[in-house]
Structure formats: structure tokens, C-alpha cells
């Protein structure tokens, strides 16, 4: 995609050639829409006359994040990975704005949920194999995604699309890539068993050329780190998690599934 320099109402940046974006309308949509919000950014899907776009607004000092998301999206695409096509990136008064085309497909959670049941078992296995292989390919190419949680991966039916690349970077040390496996694995996902998790890890290990011993060592490390993250984020007492074990901790519909037991006291194991 070709870009030209762009300036408007104090904004400056880059815009895709032959693309018309109403910046003020995008900012209004983000400010008043019900999209995703965090302390770093706000994002919103906006339907335009030329199709759906996704707008991400970065409050000051988020201009650097917008520029990084733009640059890393292009770097991923150049390296044959799928990332949303940027239509516009801009910055003003320390804040940033990124507008991308709709990547299509569905997020990883929805894709897996759609394959629940015996009829989808073979397709689910193929999807999980493809997931492990693609993350391995990402890491082998020297990239570390900034936040590789399931909602930041979309499955189009033929490829995975990496979203939210404002913290994606080149790996300076080989071990930095492992954090993506923790991010991806810490969620309880409906229809995903411990065996399914191992399937992803086996595909990843094969893509990275890891032998059986190194794969098992990585699996043990991941179980410790994912357990620690679940305890920290979901307020589960470590001794409770240790008694329950990893399979119970991560089982969909199990006693530690936030979706199945929203009123569960994860610190003590009793409902309020």
C-alpha cells in the first residue's frame, strides 16, 4: 500500500493514497462509541460509505504508539504475516490516531467456539495446529507481539491476522518470545482442553525446532507462569491453585472458569 504525507486541523502523518478519511467523524465515534477502552487507547468500529474501518485513538502521550502500530503493521506485512492495512496514521499535541481497514474473519475465541462439538473436532485440531505453527513462524522471524491475547488474533479461514501492534517489536533476546505463549495461554477458552493446549505447544515446538526435552521443559515453565498470571489477575490464592492443579485451573466450565462462575470467590474457593 502506498502512502502520502497528510496534514489536517493540526494533525499530521501518513494517509493511504486514494483513501478519504473523515478524521473528526472518527474521533467523535471513538469518544462516544462503546468500543474497547484501556488506559492507553480507545478503539471503535466505524461504518463508512467505503466499508468498515477500525479507529484507534491514543491519548497523549500516545503518538509514539500510533506510529509504532503503523510501522510494525507494515513490517509484519512485508514479512508475509497478516496485519490490518493502515489507512491513516496521525499525531497531534502528543496524541495519536490510527485508522485501519476491517481485517475480516472472527477473533480466535469465536473461531474456536464455532467448532465446539464432535462435528468440529477435526477442524478445531487443524485450527490449533495452525495457531501454534503461525506463532512459531512469527518468533522465528524475530517478532514479539505486544499483547498476544486471543482477542488480538483473527482467523479468516485461511490465515491469522495480528491485531493491536502498538507494542509489537523485534526480539532482542530469544527468551523474550516466550511471553507471547503466556499471554495466549492464560485465558480459559470454551471448548479448549488441556490436550488442545498441548497440541498448540507441540505445533509451536515443531516450528521452532525444539526437541522433546526442550518442549517438555517449556511446557513446565508455561504452566508455572500461566498459573502465576491467573492468580495475579483473577485473584486466585496460590495455595488454592496449587491444590486444584493446572488442568482444573484452566478447564472450560470448571471451578475456576470466570465465565461459568462469575460469583466465585477465587481467593477462598467459596461463593458469596
pLDDT tens-digit series, residues 164-177: 999 999 998 888 99
Decide if pLDDT at 250 tops 90: yes
Residue 11 sits in a domain whose CATH number is 3.30.200
pTM: 0.92
Domain stops at, among 59, 78, 101:
101
Q: 246 and 118 in one domain?
A: yes
- Are 72 and 201 members of one domain? no
Q: What are 81-109's pLDDT values in tens digits?
A: 999 999 999 999 999 999 999 999 999 99
Residues with Cβ < 8 Å from 108, sequence gap 6 or more? Answer: 131, 150, 151, 153, 154, 155, 160
- Which residue range forms the structural domain that includes residue 19? 3-101
61 and 192 part of one domain: no
Q: Which three cell numbers stand for residue 162?
A: 495480528
121-140 helix and 194-208 helix, angle to the nearest 10 degrees: 40
Residues 180 and 82 in one domain: no
Among 168, 41, 47, which residue's Cα sits nearest to residue 101? Answer: 47
Residues 7 and 66 in one domain: yes
pLDDT at 262 over 80: no
d(CA 110, CA 91): 33
Q: Which of 101, 133, 156 is the last residue of a domain?
A: 101
Clarify whether residues 151 and 63 are in a common domain: no
Give yes or no for a contact between 143 and 169, defined as CB atoms under 8 angstroms apart.
yes
Residue 4 Rama label (left phi>0; alpha psi -120 to 50; beta)? beta
What's the mean pLDDT when you consider all of the chain?
93
Q: Smallest Cα–Cα separation from 170: which of 147, 141, 131, 150?
A: 141
Would you state the pLDDT for residue 265? 55
pLDDT at 271: 37
List b or e across 114-144, with b for residues whose CB sees 16 or more CB atoms inside 10 angstroms. Answer: ebeeeeeeeebeebbbbbbbbbbbbbeeebb
Of 67, 101, 135, the residue at which a domain comes to its end is 101
Q: Please tell me whether residues 18 and 80 are part of one structural domain.
A: yes
pLDDT of residue 34: 86
Q: What is the pLDDT of residues 106-137, one digit of tens each?
A: 999 999 999 988 889 999 999 999 999 999 99
82 and 119: one domain?
Answer: no
Cis peptide before 61 (omega within 30 of 0): yes
The predicted pLDDT at position 36 comes to 87
Residues contacting residue 44 through CB under 8 Å, at least 6 positions apart: 29, 30, 33, 34, 35, 36, 54, 55
Say if residue 129 is in the same domain as residue 240.
Answer: yes
What is the spatial distance between Cα 9 and Cα 25, in angstroms, rounded to a whole number?
A: 13
Amino acid at each position: 500500500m502506498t502512502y502520502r504525507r497528510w496534514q489536517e486541523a493540526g494533525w499530521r502523518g501518513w494517509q493511504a493514497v486514494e483513501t478519504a478519511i473523515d478524521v473528526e467523524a472518527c474521533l467523535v465515534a471513538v469518544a462516544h462509541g462503546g468500543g474497547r477502552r484501556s488506559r492507553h487507547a480507545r478503539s471503535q468500529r466505524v461504518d463508512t460509505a467505503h466499508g468498515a474501518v477500525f479507529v484507534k485513538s491514543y491519548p497523549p502521550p500516545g503518538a509514539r504508539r500510533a506510529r509504532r502500530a503503523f510501522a510494525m503493521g507494515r513490517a509484519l506485512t512485508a514479512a508475509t504475516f497478516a496485519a490490518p492495512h493502515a489507512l491513516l496514521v496521525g499525531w497531534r499535541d502528543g496524541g495519536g490516531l490510527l485508522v485501519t481497514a476491517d481485517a475480516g474473519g472472527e477473533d480466535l475465541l469465536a473461531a474456536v467456539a464455532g467448532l465446539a462439538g464432535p462435528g468440529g473436532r477435526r477442524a478445531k485440531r487443524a485450527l490449533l495446529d495452525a495457531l501454534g505453527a503461525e506463532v512459531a513462524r512469527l518468533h522465528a522471524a524475530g517478532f514479539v507481539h505486544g499483547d498476544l491475547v486471543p482477542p488480538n488474533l483473527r482467523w479468516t479461514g485461511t490465515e491469522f491476522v495480528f491485531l493491536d501492534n502498538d507494542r509489537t517489536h523485534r526480539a532482542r533476546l530469544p527468551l523474550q518470545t516466550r511471553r507471547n505463549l503466556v499471554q495466549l495461554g492464560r485465558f480459559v477458552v470454551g471448548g479448549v482442553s488441556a490436550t488442545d493446549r498441548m497440541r498448540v505447544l507441540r505445533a509451536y515446538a515443531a516450528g521452532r525446532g525444539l526437541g522433546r526435552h526442550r518442549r517438555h521443559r517449556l511446557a513446565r515453565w508455561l504452566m508455572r507462569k500461566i498459573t502465576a498470571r491467573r492468580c495475579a489477575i483473577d485473584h486466585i490464592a496460590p495455595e488454592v491453585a496449587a491444590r486444584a492443579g493446572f488442568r482444573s485451573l484452566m478447564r472450560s466450565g470448571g471451578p475456576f472458569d470466570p465465565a461459568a462462575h462469575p460469583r466465585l470467590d477465587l481467593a477462598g474457593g467459596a461463593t458469596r
